[in-house]
Amino acid sequence: MNNHSFRPRRTNFRPQAKRAQKSFSDISKFVNKAVVTEEVVYTPEHSFRDFDINAQLKANILAKGYEHPTPIQDRAIPHILKGEDLVGIANTGTGKTAAFLIPLISKIMSNPQEKVLIVVPTRELAFQIDEELRAFAKNSGLFSVVLIGGSGMGKQISELRHKHHFVIGTPGRLKDHIESGHLRLEGFKTVVLDEADRMLDMGFINDMRFMMSHMAKERHTLFFSATLSSEIEKLIHEFLKTPVRISVKTRDTAKNIDQDIIRIKGKTKFEVLKDLLLQPEFNKTLVFARTKHGAEKIAKALKQSGIKAESIHGDKNQAARLRALSDFKSERVQALVATDVAARGLDISDISHVINFDLPATYEDYVHRIGRTGRAAKKGKALTFIE
């Protein structure tokens, strides 16, 4: 697969969805003790060995140690292999990326002339999908191109001129390449709209419609969302034809996440944060700040206090963001300070704590934030600072 290198570049401002002016502050929703119950074990109908997929792909899956599919994979893969349009209601962390990548890689292995477009809300999610794609498609001769803001158009244009089977990108940058004539969607018979509710929240609806209007009328469309609002239903009717619907979402917040508040009295919020991070159990902590400036300021102050910390926000160039993510994933840094938009779609294992240094703007933001911990049935903790 192509190796991607990045050049810092300012991107055109694109309007975001309007946010609530006053922070969401329903304190009762910040408190919830983890429910320790016997987990009902899902019994899949299939194993990965059962699926009618390419032999090389099957070998790559088994080499990764995957034997039994997650619920979304078990239920979605057979329908996607049949070429049926699909709506998947599932949170990040349920294995939905593999649920669409595995059948689509097999599809392209069978017919390398076809191409797949994967549209995602954030740069980080684009890279995570590309990384997973490379692992599944090892030794297959399939290539991908990632088209995102924050990196130079020139290198992306060059990669589009070379052979590729998958294009993974964010709506704004995909639109730029379509308008400039460097990305032609006529050859793409399959499209994945991942985290469609987030794209809607971030103001990408017109860019999504623009892209879909440039695709073939006869196409295979896969649509994934964590929520199902009236706006999302409208998009489903607009973009898909008689889709199969699969939902593996049971509740907004995982029952294995301990949620609590910390009332700030007698100390500053930063002093409380620092005291918490000095405790050994806060070994991999994601801290949420309201603004880009705030995230940067908190991370710098933590470093000056001797705590290994990094920040991730929209003002950082792509190389710096990827470095910060890599350092956090590998636990070279203890704390990652993020803004809501920068953390969209992050799938990082074993986060011990999520701390809401600043209050979220909406309940949906709160659910998204704390969902970064307590993944894969592990227990997590979420703390919210209240002044």
Q: What are 4-28's pLDDT values in tens digits?
A: 433 333 333 343 443 333 456 666 6
Q: Are residues 99 and 224 in the same domain?
A: yes
The neighbour count for residue 41, using CB atoms within 10 Å, is: 6
Packed helices 171-179 and 153-161: angle between N→C axes, nearest 10 degrees = 70
310 with 260: CB under 8 angstroms?
no
Domain boundary, last residue among 196, 225, 247: 247
Mean pLDDT, residues 284-292? 95
Tell me, yes or no, whether 16 lies in a domain: no
Residue 385 has pLDDT above 60, yes or no: yes
Are 274 and 137 part of one and the same domain?
A: no
CA 247 to the chain's CA centroid = 18
170 has pLDDT over 70: yes
Provide the whole-model pTM: 0.69
User: What does the alpha-carbon distance between residue 150 and residue 319 come to, in Å, rounded to a whole number?
Assistant: 9
**What pLDDT shows up at residue 136?**
95
Q: What is the pLDDT of residue 210?
A: 94
For residue 7 the two structure tokens come to 């050049």
Last residue of a domain, one of 247, 273, 293: 247
Domain assignment present for residue 5? The answer is no
Give the three-class secondary structure for 66: coil
Are 232 and 357 in the same domain? no
Residues 95/96/97/100 CA torsion (nearest 10 deg): 130
Q: Is the dihedral of CA 227, 231, 237, 239 positive or negative?
A: negative
My answer on whether 173 and 130 are in the same domain is: yes
Q: Summarize pLDDT for 62-111 with one digit per residue, the tens.
A: 998 888 899 999 999 999 999 999 999 987 778 899 999 999 999 999 99
Strands of the sheet containing 188-193, edge to edge, are 144-147, 166-169, 115-119, 188-193, 220-225, 86-89, 244-247
Instruction: Give the domain-ending residue among 193, 217, 247.
Output: 247
DSSP 278: T
Residues of the domain holding 289:
27-36+255-386
Number of domains in the chain: 2
Residues 112-140: tens digit of each pLDDT = 999 999 999 988 899 999 999 999 999 99
